[in-house]
Amino acid sequence: MRPLNLLLRNEVRVRWRELTGETKASTLLLTGGVIFVVAHLILYSVARNLRGLLTTPLPPEAVLLAAMVVLALLPFGVATGINHSVAALFERGDLDLLNASPIGSRTVFASRVLAVAAAVFVGLGLFLLPLASIGVMIGVPQLLGAVPTLVSLSVTSACLGMLITLLLVRLLGARRARTFSQVLAALTGLVLVLASQLPNLLSRRGASLESVAPLLRPFEPGGPLAPDSLVWLPFRSMFLHPLGTITSLALAALLYWATVVVLHRSFAYGVGQEATTIGSKRRQREDQRVSLHVGSARGVLLRKEWKLIRRDPFLISQVLMQSAYLLPALFVLLFSDSDSPFRTNLYPGAATALTVLGGITASSLARIVFVGEEAPDLLRASPLPWQQVQRTKALAALLPVLVVATPLALWLLAIRPLPGLAALVLMPAACLAVVQMRIWNPATASRQDLFKRRGGGDPVSTILESLVPVAVSGATYFFAVGSWWAIVPLAVTVALVAVAHARR
Q: Is the peptide bond before 341 cis (omega within 30 degrees of 0)?
A: no
Between CA 359 and CA 477 the distance in angstroms is 15
Between CA 83 and CA 88 the distance in angstroms is 9
| CA-wise closest residue to 363 among 330, 329, 324, 323 | 323
DSSP at 230: G
| Domain chopping of the chain, boundaries | 3-283, 297-502
Between CA 485 and CA 474 the distance in angstroms is 9
pLDDT per residue, tens digit, the chain (504 aa), is 577 777 778 777 777 776 666 567 777 778 778 877 887 788 777 777 776 666 666 677 778 888 888 888 888 888 788 878 877 776 666 666 766 677 777 888 888 889 889 988 988 888 888 888 888 888 878 888 889 999 999 999 999 988 888 888 778 776 676 667 666 766 665 666 556 555 555 555 454 445 555 666 666 666 677 777 788 888 888 888 889 899 999 999 999 999 988 887 777 665 555 544 444 444 444 444 545 555 577 787 788 778 877 766 666 666 666 555 555 555 554 444 444 444 445 788 888 888 988 888 888 888 888 877 767 777 777 777 878 888 888 888 899 889 988 998 999 899 889 999 999 999 999 999 999 988 887 776 666 566 555 555 677 778 888 889 889 988 998 999 888 888 999 999 999 999 888 877
Between CA 224 and CA 16 the distance in angstroms is 48
**Nearest 10 degrees: Cα torsion 245, 250, 253, 258:** -150
| CA-wise closest residue to 353 among 429, 419, 397 | 419
Between CA 124 and CA 132 the distance in angstroms is 13
336-352 burial by CB neighbour count: b if 16+ within 10 A, else e? beeeeeebeebbbbbbb
